[in-house]
Chain A
């Protein structure tokens, strides 16, 4: 079995190389059969990786501890679903997951484009498979999942495995890595098409139309992955932080920033034929940041609280990144003639410039975050002294950026193309602006003096009102015309232009999340060493530790504290924060108890028993508004789904179409 698995990966590696060569030679010599065989190789690669993955999962589920990987990341008593999720619990397996998803995407692309994009496809396949070759190198040589435990020349089996890292034994961790990877890996497809269109000298639009959905779906996976990670961090790590600007978090955020910028600036290209070079740069940047993210999490180059391995695969990544980036830059510079802008910016206050600022600010955030993350490396290179910056530094820059973005979210979509008129500005923003000022004044009077929080709440209302206004205006016009009510008018309106109104919903999701973020300004916490039966207070809660219990499951032993919370003498909730020691890894892990409500979460961690008195040490936190972050995510999900429904009315834009441009040396390929 294990030999078949290892062989499958090796074969996949060879076939991926073959696919690259066949596609390129086929395109060069104009041999359709070679191109077709290159595409079929993609399908075979996918098949082989499925086999390898199947064998690894089979070994995990059956606790076959002859496998080094299984012994290190699984144990007998772990629940079935965690055995499967051990697939991505360690280095070798998560690289196999990368390969699996990449091959699956390649498979889909080949099937979708059997008849389409014939000129471009060889290069798309070559790009996809070059990436595949790289990741397969990792799985074949330094990080093979099919290594056996050997004693002398004999394969041996251990009694029981080490178990999956207990911190990962939580439900969001079942889906967080695959979802985030779906987003990371997925951007290879838009990138491959962008590169394909550069190489074949296609005018800039075709690849954008083809990959619009890919980009949106993978962007959605990135967002979901990031939020699942935040949710995990909040509920598992025990300090209630969902985001601490840790290097591993940062690198997942970087491609999200550039892909968000891309989703916006792509509209400029579709509607005005502008920013063509920029869009290719953004797609390429997103792709390479995804690779960079994998590199950072897998190489341990910057110390992180998420304890990933420091391993030797970093060099491989650096080589791949260097070659890839150099080649992309070379291609872009060589094709600048084909990427000329068709119109230019006319006014500082216009839809175009709001896109420009949106991109500028997203990229600024991306650059700042990258800079901060790599600061230890940079400072060591420049001054010889390793210096790191911490969360306050990131907040200091990213909070103003976030607020400015929120402002643009409200203003941008309502500005007129080309040039906004003063009259238009007054009509669109009068009431939202009044609403914002009134709300901020009211909250200030109510005793909220935290400036960023005030601004966030104010801007949230501002954006909400602009969006509501848009829906209302459109919907009531339709309702009047078609003699229906406003609600069906709203559905009709959304259906006519799903991208626009779905986009508004996504914006709304972000607004709701910002409400949750702002709640962090009012967090409260306290740590107490308390005797059983005694009570203590935090905020409006009276908390009493009624008992401490012990118990055991197959997988771990536990000890919990039963804490009764009451408000104004009325019983409010009973919480059971727990400490566990997992039997196989002997690692202690806390399981916090959270009482989630829309206004605030009551969050209790059972830290330990004190060394001398053996009294429970309890940490209590109050996190206002956190739930709104997760609600915002569901709104964002809905918005994305709406965007994916095809619009009822085909939009046509008044712009000069560039059908093609003859190169200096070559005929236009089609």
Chain B
């Protein structure tokens, strides 16, 4: 066996193993981006897939008891009940009205979240004069 063959074999082995790991992992850990209305329309078979849903946390809907957190996620008219029971703490940005991205699965009409990411994007990159106290009035007057 010549050198090129040997190198070729070792490289194929390494790359092949990694590709195999990558492809196998994709089916296992893929989650599908859906909107709330799309989730409602999903077929029974699709509902068991891992989903990722985005929306706004309805103000006043968050309740915490023990290690369970319940709240309502909304997108326009559409609403969805969400329950979260995990030891991973909620991000600090998760609060009334924040924009949240939620991973989990549907079950019994309630979405069981496994991971919640939230951002107050408007807060971080706020156009001044829009959303902090005492300044909004400037914009309105002008």
The answer to whether A and B come from one shared complex is yes
* Interface residues, chain A, with chain B CB atoms under 8 Å away: 68, 71-72, 90-91, 149, 151-152, 156, 158-160, 162, 165-167, 237-239, 300, 303-305, 307-311, 345-348, 353, 356-357, 360-361, 364, 368, 371, 375-376, 385-390, 392-393, 396-397, 400-401, 404, 525-529, 584-590, 605, 607-608, 610-613, 617, 619, 621
In the bound complex, CA of A303 to CA of B100 (Å): 11
**Contact A607-B124, Cβ < 8 Å, known A345-B3, A397-B22:** no
B101 touches A303 (CB 8 A): yes
* Residues of B52-76 contacting chain A, CB below 8 A: 52, 54, 62-67
B65 touches A238 (CB 8 A): no
B92 touches A587 (CB 8 A): yes
Return chain A residues, CB-CB under 8 Å to B133. 586
Return chain B residues, CB-CB under 8 Å to A162. 123, 126, 128, 132
Q: Looking at the complex, which one of A151, A588, A612, A621 makes contact with B65 (CB distance below 8 Å)?
A: A612
- 29 sampled A-B residue pairs with Cβ under 8 A: A71-B128, A72-B128, A90-B124, A90-B125, A158-B138, A159-B134, A162-B126, A165-B123, A165-B124, A238-B92, A239-B88, A303-B101, A307-B93, A307-B120, A309-B121, A309-B125, A310-B121, A364-B14, A364-B15, A364-B18, A368-B22, A388-B30, A388-B31, A393-B29, A396-B29, A397-B25, A528-B67, A611-B62, A613-B65
B3 touches A346 (CB 8 A): yes
Closest to A237 in B: B91
A385 touches B103 (CB 8 A): no
Return chain B residues, CB-CB under 8 Å to A611. 62-65
In the bound complex, CA of A288 to CA of B73 (Å): 39
Q: Looking at the complex, which one of A71, A368, A388, A390 makes contact with B33 (CB distance below 8 Å)?
A: A388
| Interface pairs A-B: 7 shortest CB-CB | A307-B119, A309-B125, A386-B33, A527-B67, A393-B29, A305-B117, A71-B128
A584 touches B132 (CB 8 A): yes
In the bound complex, CA of A346 to CA of B54 (Å): 55
A360 touches B89 (CB 8 A): no
A371 touches B22 (CB 8 A): yes
Closest chain-B Cβ to A363's Cβ sits at a distance in Å of 10
A390 touches B18 (CB 8 A): no
Q: Looking at the complex, which one of B21, B32, B89, B92 makes contact with A385 (CB distance below 8 Å)?
A: B32
Closest chain-B Cβ to A173's Cβ sits at a distance in Å of 14
Is residue B42 within 8 Å, beta carbon to beta carbon, of the partner chain? no
A392 touches B25 (CB 8 A): yes
In the bound complex, CA of A51 to CA of B79 (Å): 52
- What does DSSP make chain B's interface, helix, strand, loop or mixed? mixed
Closest to B66 in A: A529
- Category for how many chain B residues contact A: 35 or more
**Contact A158-B89, Cβ < 8 Å, known A347-B3, A364-B18, A608-B64:** no
Return chain B residues, CB-CB under 8 Å to A368. 18, 22
B18 touches A353 (CB 8 A): no
Closest to A387 in B: B30
Closest to A149 in B: B128
Closest chain-A Cβ to B29's Cβ sits at a distance in Å of 4
B117 touches A389 (CB 8 A): no
The CB with the most chain B CB atoms within 10 A, among A307, A386, A392, A586, is that of: A307
Q: 1/0 contact trace for B101-133 toward A, CB 8 Å?
A: 101000000000001010111011111110011
Is residue B90 within 8 Å, beta carbon to beta carbon, of the partner chain? yes
Return chain B residues, CB-CB under 8 Å to A149. 128-129, 138
In the bound complex, CA of A98 to CA of B120 (Å): 25
B124 touches A307 (CB 8 A): yes
Return chain B residues, CB-CB under 8 Å to A525. 87
Is residue B26 within 8 Å, beta carbon to beta carbon, of the partner chain? yes
Closest chain-B Cβ to A463's Cβ sits at a distance in Å of 20
Closest chain-B Cβ to A96's Cβ sits at a distance in Å of 15
Closest to B30 in A: A387
Closest to A606 in B: B89
